[in-house]
Structure 1
Amino acid sequence: MKRARLIYNPSSGREEIKEKLPEILDFFEQAGYETSCHVTKKAGDATVAATQAIERNFDLIIAAGGDGTLYEVVNGMAEREGRPPLGIIPAGTTNDFARAIGLPMKNTLKACEIIVKGTPTPIDIGKINDRYFINIAGGGALTDLTYEVPSKLKTVMGQLAYYVKGIEKLPFIRPSHVRIETDTKIIDEEIMLFLIANSNSVGGMEKLAPYADLSDGKFDCLILRKTTLPEFLRIATHVLKGEHIKDPDIIYFQTKNLKATSQTRVLLNLDGELGGELPMEFTALHKHISVIMPEK
């Protein structure tokens, strides 16, 4: 019998994963997996659990939680040899990466069925200094929202909590002077934010990086130039329609490598988690981890 390790965050999303745990475990047992689970209790737990699962030769790792849980699991897997496939049960507030690969957002058993019947598919991940991300990296005042929203507020309000916090911060957003270097270009100016996307789904918006491909070995990069509040609101409406790529205040490009520096303090957001601060070097690792995808 194959062995699966379920790593779950009991406080993800609306904390429903705890109630569904017995049926999840039963589902995988019935599907032929001897399944054990690890509950996370503090930051970094999922990273340690994923590393231990590989060392103990589990055939499957399952991340049940939100983007933060997935981020930690990926960091526990990325540097290990003999990585097993990774299955995902979306249970967070936004579930950007799960949304990008077409997993059901509100049907836990359907997600389990996809893990059992889906296809392990090699995908790219990003490396930043000594950390890794699977979906998005970003810097600038606007990217602070994902780790500034209190967990209890996310539990009660879900994704709406991010928008509430965003409206609250809009009048106080200030640009940062950032230098971004790739093999083909240098951008050195005041910006509101930069995003380095691996998938098309960012912050619950599926058109923010419309050309992103999980297996092309490249990042899709978006930079929002210094703008006034009215200009920002105009661009935001374009984003909702997927028409922002050609806006003169947006710089868009693809690259395999990128270096970002700043003379001021710019915090970095990795898959919705605080990921340190600039300077940082980013590298796309081509088809580095196998994730179980739904059958097309």
Structure 2
Amino acid sequence: MQISVIINPRNAEAVDAIRGGVEELREAGHTVHPRATFESGDAHRFAWKSAENGADLVVAAGGDGTINEVVNGLYDWIEEQPGEHTPPLPRLGIVPLGTGNDLAGGMGIATGDPRAAVLAAAAGVPYTVDVARVNGRLFLNVSTGGMGAEATEEASGELKRVLGPVAYLITGVKKFVQLKETVARFTTSDGEVLYDGGFLLFAVGNAWRTGGGNWITPASDPTDRLLDVCIVQSMSHVDVMRIAPLIRAGKHVHHPQVTYRKVRELIVESDDEMTVNADGEPLQARRFEYGLGAHQLTLVVPEVPEAPTDPNEVEGSEDAENT
């Protein structure tokens, strides 16, 4: 098997562990090409070239941002191929080296042992998933707006490096004290208004987790050709304290101040510029258009994961039958 390993090399200890895994894969007969990123855009370019050169497996070793770059690189490559004879995309393996590692965590990929993760990426089971879009940017996991996106953006790289997931807690507490609402209109592709008013945060999920372990869209199914939308309406500090542990556990879907739906497409519009986070990548605009890409990606996971909440409990799940 031809394997490309794309590494964000910020953690020297992790790089050494990955090097050990690469050597074991070579001893097992695989052809492995490791590439270390140096600046923004490298992971995208390496992923593109890996697909172009016929890699069977691309392993992304880094945080959610690195993985997102690799996903965009693979997808951009496949979209430029001739339609009649589109070659298969490489499978995607993940070695989680970031702070939140939410995509990996949701997929059951263990953190803390990069060497084992590299080996597992070559030996796991295939799991073909949808790819979501927001304003042309692709994401596999979750896109958030409002308080959650602002907290993620303000958790600096240095703070995350030193404190790990606690960095999200610190910036989250700051946002909680400020508790600033955003006003926006959420509309589906057929014109239905899901919500129009003030909100604290929203999430559009292809998968489940964000912010270092919050199961914000727990009824998502990354294979159903639908997106899960969760809107947490404006509320008091006391109510935020009550709902926060529910969101952490994915038990907020039927909360009276939460709008939760499955949709094919979504438009979010505001009079003010908003910040949206898509798998670690911030975007700013007054209008965000969400949908799904035409192609799917095949992840390599330890086992096929299940949603924490039954997708059939959520309004809109019947739309999957008409896809």
Please report how far the alpha carbon of residue 129 of structure 1 lies from its aligned counterpart in structure 2 after TM superposition. Answer: 2.5
Q: Partners in 1 of 2:28 and 2:279 — Cα distance?
A: 31
Larger mean Cα displacement after TM superposition, 279-288 or 230-239: 279-288
**Consecutive unaligned residues in structure 1, runs of 5 or more:** none
* Closer/same/farther in 2, CA of residues 206 and 233 from structure 1, 3 Å limit: closer
Please report how far the alpha carbon of residue 235 of structure 1 lies from its aligned counterpart in structure 2 after TM superposition. Answer: 1.1
Tell me the residue number matched to 2:258. Answer: 250
Please report how far the alpha carbon of residue 9 of structure 1 lies from its aligned counterpart in structure 2 after TM superposition. Answer: 0.7
Please report how far the alpha carbon of residue 184 of structure 1 lies from its aligned counterpart in structure 2 after TM superposition. Answer: 6.4
Contact 2:220 2:228 in 1 (8 A): yes
Tell me the residue number matched to 2:233. Answer: 225
The answer on 1:109 being equivalent to 2:115 is yes
Aligned CA-pair RMSD: 1.8
The answer on 1:273 being equivalent to 2:281 is yes
Structure 1 counterpart of 2:39, which letter? K
Tell me the residue number matched to 2:68. Answer: 71
Structure 1 counterpart of 2:237, which letter? L
Tell me the residue number matched to 1:163. Answer: 169
Larger mean Cα displacement after TM superposition, 142-151 or 58-67: 142-151
Q: Partners in 1 of 2:142 and 2:249 — Cα distance?
A: 20
Q: Partners in 2 of 1:126 and 1:242 — Cα distance?
A: 21
Q: TM-score, normalised by structure 2?
A: 0.85
Q: Partners in 1 of 2:303 and 2:187 — Cα distance?
A: 38
Please report how far the alpha carbon of residue 205 of structure 1 lies from its aligned counterpart in structure 2 after TM superposition. Answer: 2.5
* Closer/same/farther in 2, CA of residues 75 and 276 from structure 1, 3 Å limit: farther
Structure 1 counterpart of 2:4, which letter? R
2:131 to 125, 138, 144: 125
Tell me the residue number matched to 1:173. Answer: 179
Contact 1:202 1:208 in 2 (8 A): yes
* Closer/same/farther in 2, CA of residues 161 and 15 from structure 1, 3 Å limit: farther
Q: Partners in 1 of 2:201 and 2:215 — Cα distance?
A: 17
Contact 1:16 1:91 in 2 (8 A): no
Please report how far the alpha carbon of residue 103 of structure 1 lies from its aligned counterpart in structure 2 after TM superposition. Answer: 0.8
Q: Partners in 2 of 1:234 and 1:295 — Cα distance?
A: 34
Q: TM-score, normalised by structure 1?
A: 0.93
Please list, as runs of the form range in 1=range in 2, the aligned pairs for 1:38-57 lying within 5 A after superposition.
38-57=35-54
Please report how far the alpha carbon of residue 141 of structure 1 lies from its aligned counterpart in structure 2 after TM superposition. Answer: 3.0
Tell me the residue number matched to 1:201. Answer: 209
List per-residue Cα deviations over 1:160-212 (Å, max 9, x = no partner). Answer: 11101211232223111111111363021111111001112222325332211
Please list, as runs of the form range in 1=range in 2, the aligned pairs for 1:255-266 lying within 5 A after superposition.
255-266=263-274
The answer on 1:59 being equivalent to 2:56 is yes
Q: Percent identity?
A: 30
Structure 2 counterpart of 1:149, which letter? A
Please report how far the alpha carbon of residue 114 of structure 1 lies from its aligned counterpart in structure 2 after TM superposition. Answer: 2.1
Contact 2:95 2:117 in 1 (8 A): yes
Q: Partners in 2 of 1:170 and 1:285 — Cα distance?
A: 34
